[in-house]
Structure 1
């Protein structure tokens, strides 16, 4: 019998959500939530954030000084497809928020850009200000429940290698490979097939499906026999999963 994988670790799922999330919300007690235009986890145990210079969060961070103030960053992982319930997971990063001095902002922005360029970095000093969130804890919640990981485990994990192309692949599956999705759906127990089966997520360990049933949604995971690291391997694993080695391969949409 082939041995299947068990899916990404909680820390890996958090890192992938952090990499994918296009926006985040910074919450500080006594103030309205602040939308951030950039967030990046750093190896030093902080998250670098970019917020509007005229926001309450910036003002409170400057007032708090070097000691900082408690804050929570909420990241939302939205499904690439128009699902009935679009949120796949939520991640909460709790820690101490500190302002980045002006004389260090440009150097930090360059460091962030070196890891992963982001157009919002052009706004540093022009209506947007950098902040640091010194991380104390991390929690993720999805359809299976909530789970916490240590900051050390979070920083040691890598995001899924396909996080940047997942959107194109899922859209390609939905629009051009409905036959493959149907083959996957047929492998589910009949008791689960209570409504349309939609692609929900794909990673190096397998594929997730969303069943939009009459009494509510349900997410299921179908694992590959072993983790994959490139597009050809992922395509082969999908064909093996549906039991049809001649199904057209999956290609990323550019």
Structure 2
């Protein structure tokens, strides 16, 4: 499929990326309390969820062969301490089904090949897998809310740097205030009265959160073209900052879970 070159990820790509690094997610079934979700793996038109075995959603899904109406809420948070850490909220709705215990381990192994997460090791040890057949997806960010079709979501890929973005943003914030300051020169002048912090990093550019006296604002600085590997990403950041010889990113380091 031909993909147009843009200066930012699509909403579908943002959802795919956020689900790869879930830190806060809940599953809601009508009329019951919410269930915490440890892993959300999107595959085609379905989401595979890791939830507590003794949770109400697991019990109800096991008792209903036709599936249950359910919704997963994913909160994508910045990897550093901000005044408001939420970057986006995502709602995935559909029909919830139990996954047979005999298939859980094989599915977990398959999922781990492209979505490694330590939480998968808990499968069968207090955690179970459920399957959400998706009907709709909605994402809300600082720029507004929009619906994403299930087909578009199935065709989208997560950002290639999703396993490392959290470590890199934390490293920039803690160790490279000079680089952040250089990058901040490209931010519109009327926002400079606020505190400027790195918010997100992807193949299209870097985002900043400006914590101003009247509220928060998010700004994206785009690369001239999307980057494909760590070397290109580091070069693009240095070029934006006007310091081509500065090493502003650490080694890939540990995988973000």
TM superposition score category, shorter chain reference: over 0.9
Q: Is the 8 A contact 1:195 1:214 kept in 2?
A: yes
**CA distance in structure 2 between the aligned counterparts of 1:230 and 1:160, rounded to whole angstroms:** 11
TM-score for both structures, normalised by structure 2: 0.91
Tell whether the 8 Å contact from 1:140 to 1:147 is kept in structure 2 after alignment.
yes
Q: How many angstroms does 1:10 deviate by?
A: 1.1
Aligned to 1:196: 195
Q: Confirm or deny: 8 A CA contact 1:71 1:97 kept in the other structure.
A: yes
What's the counterpart of residue 24 of structure 1? 25
User: Which ranges in structure 1 are unaligned for 5 or more consecutive residues?
Assistant: none
The reply on whether 1:52 has 2:52 as its aligned counterpart is yes
Rate the CA distance shift 1:5–1:108 in 2: closer, same or farther, 3 A.
closer
1:89-125 Cα distance to aligned partner (Å, 9 max, x none): 1111111001112233233233223333333333333
Q: Write the distance in 1 (CA, Å) between the matches of 2:6 and 2:237.
A: 14
After superposition, the Cα gap between the structure-2 partners of 1:106 and 1:219, relative to the gap in structure 1 and judged at 3 Å, is same
Indicate if the aligned counterparts of 1:5 and 1:224 stay in contact, CA closer than 8 A. Answer: no
CA distance in 2, matches of 1:112, 1:244: 40
Note closer, same or farther for the CA distance 1:117–1:20 as it changes in structure 2 (3 Å cut): closer
> Residue by residue, what CA displacement relative to the aligned partner does 1:113-167 show, whole Å, maximum 9, x if unpaired?
3333333333333322211000111111111111111111111111111111111
Please say if residues 172 and 253 of structure 1, whose CA atoms lie closer than 8 Å, have aligned partners that are also in contact.
Answer: no
CA distance in 2, matches of 1:114, 1:238: 30
Give the corresponding residue for 1:142.
Answer: 141
Distance 1:132 1:208, change over 3 A: same
- Paired position in structure 2 for 1:83: 82
Shift of residue 5 of structure 1? Answer: 4.3
- Write the deviation string for residues 6-44 of structure 1: whole angstroms up to 9, x where unpaired: 21111111111111213420011100110012221123x
| Mapping of residues 1-254 of structure 1, within 5 Å | 5-43=6-44, 45-65=45-65, 67-252=66-251, 254=253
Distance 1:237 1:36, change over 3 A: same
Structure 1 residues 111 and 189: alpha-carbon distance in aligned structure 2, compared to 1, 3 A threshold = closer
**1:158-183 deviations in Å (ceiling 9; x for gaps):** 11111111111111111221111111
Query: Residue 246 of structure 1: CA displacement?
Result: 3.5
Contact 1:139 / 1:147 at 8 angstroms: preserved in 2?
Answer: yes
Distance in 2, Cα, partners of 1:209 & 1:64: 45
Q: Which runs of 4+ in 1 moved over 3 A?
A: 246-249
**Secondary structure in 1 aligned to 2:27?**
strand
Could you tell me how far 1:223 is from its partner in structure 2?
0.3
How well do the aligned residues superpose, as a CA RMSD in angstroms?
1.7
| Paired residue secondary structure (1:115) | coil
Q: Secondary structure at the match of 2:167?
A: helix
Q: Say if 1:183 and 1:118 are closer, same or farther in 2 by CA, change over 3 A.
A: closer
Q: Distance in 1 between the 2:100 and 2:245 partners? A: 58
